[in-house]
Structure 1
Amino acid sequence: MADEALTAGAAARRLGVAVTTLRTWHQRYGLGPSQHLPGHHRRYTAQDLDRLQIMRRLTAQGVPPAQAAAWAQRMPLPAPESAPASGPDAAAVPGLDSAAVPGLESASFPSSESAGGQPEPVGGRLRGTPIDVVWPEIAGPVTVTTRDGGGHSIRTGRAGPAARGLARAAMRLDGPALRDILEMAVTNRGVVDAWHEVIMPVLIGIGDRYEATRRFIEVEHLVSRSITEVLGTIARPHSSHNPRVMLAAADEEQHTLPLEALAAALAEAGVPSRLLGARVPTQALADAVARTGPEVVVLWSQLPETGDPAQWTRLLSAGHGPLLAAAAGPGWPAERLPAGVVFISSLAEAVQLIAATVPPAEVRGTTRGKRAAL
């Protein structure tokens, strides 16, 4: 790309941002095109694009634009032939160490409360939105800021800069930035902490915006797809280890992101699992249990209409009961579950309980945070 100079439109497509964003960065922060040919508009050189890439990555990670622009302006850039491949870490930005940007991984940036509005606790579900995908304990610590009517932001309450950066990228429909932030969060924090500290505040924020506007379903779809893709990159235990954990959604239950997070967190802990996915009829689940003999069965229900305890009664009466039968999700009436069925209230609790029932396998050539090839 050394000899290539691009128009604003072409540069925007290359970076995955809007042309108006490039113009704003040019007018406010001086990150504009530097090549000028007589009779033509200025064009973006390879070095211009490198600096804009730094700007994009830092703002996606929650760094305020003015601070990100200052770093982009003075960041030493490598020669084109030595430019590193893009990756999830801040270190993938040329010359940038995450520790070099003050506050990048702290909560020192202005919180969403400073933008106006008061924090309002959110209940354990996303209140009828298309992404009711939370563990029950989320009702406690996570808050979001709400306002009536429209709006084009996702409030993440007291969540840190990674969650705020994820929310900004989500509203921009910036798939590459979403993946970068999610990969960095999972690598640096592990699946469980990334889920609770980064992913859940954004999912709840999207649900809040949907409730206020009945819009932004496209945002939810892109975020959900990005989460699924990143969770799928967690290295699984070697195929020689037979999975003794079965994960499934209850009959007619369509929400599976929490199960995908559980499967990834278990893999990170060295515990292989089978994930059957959404809407598993009770008879099909019973057949699968009889065929494979798992020691743990986790059945997820997000909504009350899918959390019928009779599913557990039928499954356990089939004669192939697992050592651990666990009902997960706010859809289950915990007080009406059959004897022998454990109610799990959090992702962390699920991982701990399952790992205690099924000891982790020896994972060949994998460590926490290491990723499988796509």
Structure 2
Amino acid sequence: MAAQLGVSPSTVRMWGRRYGLVASARSEGGHRRYTSADVERLHHMHAAVISGETPAAAAALVLAGKQRHDDATDWPVTAGTSRYGGGFVLALPGAGRTAQGIGRAASRLDEIGAREMTLQALHELKTTRTWNQVLRPVLVATGVHWQHTGTGIEIEHLLTQAITAAFATYVSQLPEPAQDRPVVLAGGPREDHVLTLLAVRGALAERGVPVRTLGARTPTQALTSTATRIRAAAVFIWATKPANASEQEIRELSENHRGLTVVLGGAGWRQSSIGSGTVCTSLEQAADLLDQSWRRKVRKGLSENPSLS
């Protein structure tokens, strides 16, 4: 059932446990079986959550017999008025329905709703489209709201937690990649904002590329040590502004690991290349370069050690 809906099994179990949306029939062996009515209810529940309803509100509508019509605007949405908070909705002009739903959930401080909608988008659209078409517009709107009003930092923090949890679940559900010559992802030595690393990790996991994520404020010494210990094929370093990027440290990293592919992302890197590092301008470009580097290093290792093939 979870696969049919495109959500995690734990989500279906949670809907059953909390809201009574369980299989109503049983097999001769006593196992629960979903009837067509049960399946229809779960589809309506899922549609309501994607529309921006909290799981509790969506369940109440479904159990009351209200159904989503083909036109999504006919499905009742209570954005901005839920018990989770509300008071305003993030401005997302021109954004798609899923981005709007995540924005409404985040505005209501509905972490579960934002997480489940993000996870659903990842299953349906994969990482690159989810990041570019769904998550980036919401994150930008959150930042703009804070800049204009000085409020809403709690929305950004909650959204960060929801996105982090969704990516962790999504990646764990993908086939486990090979572990030879992983790619290392890290924030620059002074970089705190590293959600982009989750998107890079997701895009690489979909391609079967092994990854080690070190996170925010990674010292160059730690990055160098990690690359040595695990024989990394490549490293990706993220910096959102020049103050968070250390070009001298990148040159030192490149000099200490002359065979290491160094890929740089974010507005902090002002040049097209730094040392032996390449500055990327998109998630797609970064994933392509890191993927190509990993496959090249793995092929080289196999050619040098035929017994490993």
Q: TM-score, normalised by structure 2?
A: 0.69
> 267, 279, 292: which is aligned to 1:330?
267
Aligned partner (choices 76, 79, 91) of residue 155 of structure 1: 91
Q: 1:285 to 1:308 in 2, by over 3 A?
A: same
- Aligned partners of 1:192, 1:101: CA distance in 2, in Å? 29
Q: Which residue of 1 aligns with 2:135?
A: 199
Instruction: Name the structure 2 match of 1:301.
Output: 239
Secondary structure of 1:299's partner? strand
**Structure 2 counterpart of 1:102:** 70
Change over 3 Å in CA distance of 1:70–1:278 after alignment to 2? closer
8 Å Cα contact 1:301/1:307 also seen in 2: yes
CA deviation profile, 1:92-141 (whole Å, cap 9, x unmatched)? xxxx8xxx74255xxx89xxxxxxxxxxxxxxxxxxxxxxxxxxxxxxxx
Amino acid at match of 2:168: G
- SS in structure 1 opposite 2:115? helix
CA 188–237 in structure 1, closer or farther in 2 if over 3 Å, else same: closer
> What CA distance in whole angstroms lies between the structure 2 residues aligned with 1:56 and 1:171?
20
Q: Which residue identity lines up with residue 233 of structure 2 in the other structure? A: E
Q: Deviations over 1:170-228 (max 9, x none)?
A: 11111221122111100100011111111111111111111111111111111100100
Q: Secondary structure at the match of 2:291?
A: helix
- Paired residue for 1:244, among 169, 182, 194? 182
Query: Which residues of structure 2 form unaligned runs of 5+?
Result: 1-17, 20-39, 75-86, 299-309
Q: Deviations over 1:260-306 (max 9, x none)?
A: 11112111111111111111111221222222221211111112201
Q: Deviations over 1:3-33 (max 9, x none)?
A: xxxxxxxxxxx67xxxxxxxxxxxxxxxxxx
Q: Which residue is equivalent to 1:218?
A: 154
Map 1:334-373; keep pairs closer than 5 Å.
334-335=271-272, 337-359=273-295
**Pick aligned residue for 2:209 from 266, 271, 286:** 271
CA displacement at 1:153 relative to structure 2: 1.6
TM-score normalised by length of structure 1: 0.58
**TM alignment of 1:18-37, pairs within 5 A:** none
Cα pair 2:233 2:261 within 8 Å, conserved: yes
More helix by share: 2
Match of 1:313 in 2: 251
Amino acid at match of 1:62: S
Question: What is the match of residue 61 of structure 1?
Answer: 50
Q: In structure 2, what is the Cα distance between the partners aligned to 1:55 and 1:164? A: 18
Which one-letter code corresponds to 1:102 in the other structure? D
Name the residue aligned to 2:117.
Answer: 181
Q: Please show how residues 3-82 of structure 1 align to structure 2 within 5 Å.
A: 58-62=47-51, 74=65
Between 1 and 2, higher relative CO (CA 8 Å, sep ≥ 6) is seen in 1
Change in Cα spacing, 1:52 to 1:215, as seen in structure 2 (3 Å) is: farther
Letter of the aligned partner of 2:70 in structure 1?
Answer: P
Cα separation, 1, equivalents of 2:165 and 2:106: 15
Provide the rounded CA distance (Å) in 2 between the counterparts of 1:278 and 1:264: 17
* Paired residue type of 2:103: A
| Structure 1 unaligned spans of 5+ | 1-13, 16-50, 76-95, 110-150, 362-374
In structure 1, give the amino acid aligned to 2:139: L
Deviations 1:42-70 (A, max 9, x none): xxxxxxxxx99988754542379xxx999
Residue 7 of structure 2 corresponds to none
**What value does the CA root-mean-square deviation take over the aligned residues?**
3.3
AA at the equivalent of 1:341: G
Distance 1:314 1:56 in 2: 54
Residue 350 of structure 1, CA deviation: 1.4
CA distance in structure 1 between the partners assigned to 2:124 and 2:177 by the alignment: 26
**Contact kept in structure 2, 1:301 and 1:332, CA below 8 Å:** yes
1:289 corresponds to 2:227: yes
Q: Distance in 1 between matches of 2:285 and 2:178?
A: 27
Q: Does the CA-based 8 Å contact 2:240-2:267 persist in structure 1? A: yes
